[in-house]
Amino acid sequence: MLSIFLHFHLTLWRHYLLSQLYREEFITNSEHCITHHHYRRFSKRYKKKQSIVKSFWIIAGLITIVFPILPLAIVLFILTTFLSFSFLDETK
């Protein structure tokens, strides 16, 4: 049981570190930047949108804490999910 627990958390830590190294290499390598399939996720515009979506979720969480009514929470989280996906969508 303990070995499974340690293996799980070490795997998470490894993925976290590798993703950090990948992002650093991606940002410093400008030639690779244009052709990469996740290029939009690293742009300043998309990061700004992500921070706005994060604010949506924080506000939804605070409303849920202030008004702990289950149907309200469910509707609010479904609405926030829809707004998040539609706000981050890049299609024209």
Beta carbons of 87 and 54 less than 8 angstroms apart: no
**Residue 26 pLDDT class (50, 70, 90 cuts):** low
Question: What pTM does this model have?
Answer: 0.58
Q: Would you say residue 25 has pLDDT above 80?
A: no
Beta carbons of 71 and 77 less than 8 angstroms apart: no
Q: CA–CA separation, 54 vs 50, rounded Å?
A: 6
Q: What local confidence, expressed as pLDDT, does residue 15 receive?
A: 73
Average pLDDT over residues 35-63: 83
Average pLDDT over residues 52-77: 94
